[in-house]
Structure 1
Amino acid sequence: MQLSSTERFDAKPTIYPILFLISLVHLFNDSMQAVIPAIFPILKNSMHLTYTQIGWIGFAINFTASLLQPVFGWYTDKRPFPYMLPIGMASTCLGMFCLAFAPSYMFVLLAVVLVGIGSAIFHPESSRVSYLAAGNRRGLAQSIFQVGGNTGQALAPLMTYLIFIPLGQRGALWFTLVAGTALVIQLFIARWYQGYLRAHPRPANQEQAAAQTSGIKKALLFAMILLIFLIFVRSWYHAGISTYYQFYLMERYHISLEHAQIYIFLFLLAGAAGTFFGGPLADRFGMKRIIYFSMLGSAPLALLLPYVNASWAYVILLMNGFIVLSSFSVTVVYAQQLFPGKIGMVSGLTVGFAFGMGAVGSVGLGKMIDMAGLSSVMHWIGFLPLLGVLTYFLPDDQKVKEWNQREKQTA
């Protein structure tokens, strides 16, 4: 079978060293961001916080880290700035230092905002680096990149068990060393990124090409809005389990904080595995089918979880962690296929803005728990994955590829 002229032109090697390095930094970045929910039980006891106040801390980190992502992505789509990557990591490092010594609730909020800004800078630019280094294996490349972040998030319960329970709030100081290591790696990646931009200058007619494809603009916008909503629902459910389910375990089963962290760790670790395998599965079965599977496949288990005993909770959390996040990298690639000329902005929207909306849900859940009780809310969030039925209205993979090719040919 012969390749078309467009496919021959697009054939590029996959730069695995850059992909593995950016995935490693993603692990570092998200493990530091995961310090915030990991330290919730410590802060709740030491500062006598309510669930609503805990929700506001979660809101501050997720809202800042998420809603600023498309802003930074939009800016760097127009004016790429490779050395923004180490600048963002410097902000995270400062935030971790402030968190370790925060004397009050308001100072904690300031510290997590600094961490959030660093994360907001990191994600859209790193998604772009992953896209540039992917060659023709974008699904696999996005899975390699995203699995680093989800693995970092999965470390949060272990960090609580190994660091924050014995060391308390000051344990966050150790993560300034992690941030320093990540900053050095980011300098190397930024140098490669800058070299890539010099070797592959941006086409002068890219803006004109986007205008010429305005005939499908409404369909593209509808698909993006629906995709963001589905990611928001997935994020809201994920936040409910990763943030509040540990308290539900301690309340219902009377287990220790240390024991509760094992459940959350298994859920997040299975999510990291789902993130990695989701990309290759989408390459084989299609992106839309994996998004369907991620949402509706998790619904029966989500509804069952509040009713099972402590032993079965292990099994369900493992299975649901894998299923829920199997679409994590897939939704990013789907969005990049919709808007191939706006990688930074759509990466910020799918990884950032939608998670920021999930942060709003996190605050709402905290308020609902204070008002209606922890058990009621844990039962209610099990219905969220049922909204995945709306995936039916997403354009199928073939249609997305046709739109993608049309934009390339116009460019």
Structure 2
Amino acid sequence: MSTTMANGAMAPATLREDAGVIGFVGLAHMVSHFSQLILPPLFPWLKDALHASYTELGFLMTVFFVVSCGVQTLSGFLVDRWGPRPVLFAGLALIGIAAFGFAWSPDYVTMALCSVIAGVGNGVFHPVDYTLINRKVSPARLGHAYSVHGITGSLGWALAPAVVVPLALAYSWRVALMGAGTIAFAVLVVIWFNRSKLALPAAAPKAHTSGPAEHSLAFLRIPAVWMCFGFFFFYAVVLSTIQAFAPEAARRLHDVPVGWAAMCLTVYMVCAAGGMVVGGFLASDPERCERIVGAGFGMAALVALLIGLGHVPAIAVPALFGAMGFASGIAGPSRDLLVKKSTPDNATGRVYGVVYSGLDIGQAIAPLFFGALMDHQQYRGVWLGLVFMQAVLITSAFNVRKVRRTSLAPA
């Protein structure tokens, strides 16, 4: 395990130590993304079992993300106060409890209460993960750490329907959700037995030589923190639209067979994971992270524009989703580096908690707007809206850089 030096900083870690931290943090992050998609694939079963409309079932996810947003901000303070490891254990346990609660729910109200529990569990991961990565992983390997973190998140999204749908078909939706809960608890057990690899003391408040310790909310005065929050809000809108509506909108525009349309999101996620591998190497130079983000999402926006306005053969649509995913994946590790460069060393958990709450807010709001476009059969509008949000995303990344440089400029 990494040793602590006299000044409180962590001594350089070995490759084996870094790999352990990256691997176990990634495994936990996979469960976070896994939990976000265990209910939607089961909506056809839940609709009949709970006598609920699709709007009511969708509201379960709104509850999940709204709660996760609030908890994500709060958990950043808990991570900085108590250290990330106990908060991580609590998050994994709550996700497992919520999954079994879903499985045993007799009615819709109980499902909604379990969504609250699941949202609380999901809300801890980003402050925990990035505190561990930024404070325990060697700077030279941070790009690869962010890459693995993004890849495991994408795999979690891909794993959820691959687990719950076959179990629901073979047995029932209740068995499927119990299977999901079992996975969460299994990961908790694995990490518990390897908890020494994630040991990290709570961050001490940064003291000034001529005054008291810095207030715990002082980081909120950093403009770059709020620019990063906006960046992740727009990123969440893009991601939520791709996950929920883009495949169906493309199917309607280009007469894509249903089976091929169903493949689009899986192709996107797999190719995004591949892009993150490449992006991990590109992120080795922190000075170019904004340019990489701009290039990656710029290429993704061009592909989206082609799907939205071009005459595309149906057989090419899944491949274009793959190209869009790969380009977005390249930007992933540099996206995370944007936040690290704007984060004080003594406020990692708090900053990541606030910044990544933008993800939950974006995922809660985006379906309201883009869902209305789908209801009005504005399928081209969905894709043009997606292109516009990707353009805003690129602009906000460069604004983070501009604000950060302005705040560091001498008075």
User: What TM-score, normalized to structure 1?
Assistant: 0.81
Look up the SS of the partner of 1:154 in the other structure. Answer: helix
Look up the SS of the partner of 2:294 in the other structure. Answer: helix
Rate the CA distance shift 1:107–1:311 in 2: closer, same or farther, 3 A: farther
2:43 maps to 1:37: no
Counterpart Cα distance in 1 of 2:191 and 2:219? 38
CA contact (8 A) 2:289 2:338 kept: yes
After TM superposition, give the deviation of residue 51 of structure 1 in Å.
5.3
Q: Report what 1:4 is aligned to.
A: none
Q: Report what 1:392 is aligned to.
A: 398
2:127 maps to 1:124: yes
Counterpart Cα distance in 1 of 2:196 and 2:205? 24
CA contact (8 A) 1:56 1:363 kept: no
**Unmatched segments (≥5 aa) in structure 1:** 1-8, 407-411
Q: Which of 331, 355, 366 is the aligned partner of 1:327?
A: 331
After TM superposition, give the deviation of residue 81 of structure 1 in Å.
5.7
CA contact (8 A) 2:249 2:374 kept: no
CA contact (8 A) 2:60 2:112 kept: yes
Q: Report what 2:316 is aligned to.
A: 312
Q: Output the amino acid matched with 1:303.
A: L
Residues 291-310 of structure 1 correspond to what in structure 2 (within 5 A)? 291-306=293-308, 307=310, 308-310=312-314
Q: Report what 1:142 is aligned to.
A: 146
Counterpart Cα distance in 2 of 1:104 and 1:39? 15
After TM superposition, give the deviation of residue 202 of structure 1 in Å.
4.5
Rate the CA distance shift 1:278–1:209 in 2: closer, same or farther, 3 A: farther
CA contact (8 A) 1:22 1:189 kept: no
After TM superposition, give the deviation of residue 96 of structure 1 in Å.
0.7
Q: Report what 1:13 is aligned to.
A: 13
Rate the CA distance shift 1:250–1:312 in 2: closer, same or farther, 3 A: closer
After TM superposition, give the deviation of residue 45 of structure 1 in Å.
6.3
Counterpart Cα distance in 1 of 2:99 and 2:332? 26
After TM superposition, give the deviation of residue 344 of structure 1 in Å.
0.8
Rate the CA distance shift 1:205–1:107 in 2: closer, same or farther, 3 A: closer
Residues 233-252 of structure 1 correspond to what in structure 2 (within 5 A)? 233-248=234-249
What does the per-residue CA deviation read over 1:43-69, in whole Å, with 9 as the maximum and x for residues that have no partner?
456656555435423322222223321
CA contact (8 A) 2:158 2:269 kept: yes
Q: Output the amino acid matched with 2:180.
A: F
Residues 47-58 of structure 1 correspond to what in structure 2 (within 5 A)? 52-58=55-61
Q: Report what 1:230 is aligned to.
A: 231
Q: Which of 80, 93, 99 is the aligned partner of 2:83?
A: 80
Counterpart Cα distance in 2 of 1:259 and 1:168? 26
Counterpart Cα distance in 1 of 2:326 and 2:58? 25
Look up the SS of the partner of 1:35 in the other structure. Answer: coil
2:272 maps to 1:271: yes
Residues 307-386 of structure 1 correspond to what in structure 2 (within 5 A)? 307=310, 308-339=312-343, 340-370=345-375, 372-373=376-377, 375=379, 377-379=381-383, 380-386=385-391
Rate the CA distance shift 1:203–1:91 in 2: closer, same or farther, 3 A: closer
Q: Report what 2:105 is aligned to.
A: 102
Rate the CA distance shift 1:122–1:180 in 2: closer, same or farther, 3 A: same
Rate the CA distance shift 1:347–1:31 in 2: closer, same or farther, 3 A: same
Rate the CA distance shift 1:168–1:243 in 2: closer, same or farther, 3 A: farther
Counterpart Cα distance in 1 of 2:305 and 2:54? 23
Rate the CA distance shift 1:121–1:52 in 2: closer, same or farther, 3 A: same
CA contact (8 A) 2:21 2:198 kept: no
After TM superposition, give the deviation of residue 97 of structure 1 in Å.
1.0
Range that drifts further, 277-286 or 158-167: 158-167
Q: Report what 2:4 is aligned to.
A: none
Rate the CA distance shift 1:24–1:392 in 2: closer, same or farther, 3 A: closer
After TM superposition, give the deviation of residue 236 of structure 1 in Å.
0.7
Range that drifts further, 34-43 or 140-149: 34-43
Which structure has more relative contact order (CA 8 Å, sep 6+)? It is 1
CA contact (8 A) 1:274 1:322 kept: yes
CA contact (8 A) 1:31 1:152 kept: yes
Q: Output the amino acid matched with 2:269.
A: L
After TM superposition, give the deviation of residue 250 of structure 1 in Å.
6.2
After TM superposition, give the deviation of residue 226 of structure 1 in Å.
2.2
Rate the CA distance shift 1:270–1:351 in 2: closer, same or farther, 3 A: farther
CA contact (8 A) 2:79 2:87 kept: no
Rate the CA distance shift 1:10–1:218 in 2: closer, same or farther, 3 A: closer
Rate the CA distance shift 1:218–1:142 in 2: closer, same or farther, 3 A: closer
Counterpart Cα distance in 1 of 2:45 and 2:362? 26
Residues 253-272 of structure 1 correspond to what in structure 2 (within 5 A)? 253=255, 255-256=257-258, 259-272=260-273
**Unmatched segments (≥5 aa) in structure 2:** 1-8
CA contact (8 A) 1:296 1:385 kept: yes
What does the per-residue CA deviation read over 1:242-298, in whole Å, with 9 as the maximum and x for residues that have no partner?
122344466564744x65432211112222233343232122471111221233222
Q: Report what 1:5 is aligned to.
A: none
What does the per-residue CA deviation read over 1:201-253, in whole Å, with 9 as the maximum and x for residues that have no partner?
75564477999999xx9997332222222222221111111122344466564
Rate the CA distance shift 1:398–1:335 in 2: closer, same or farther, 3 A: closer
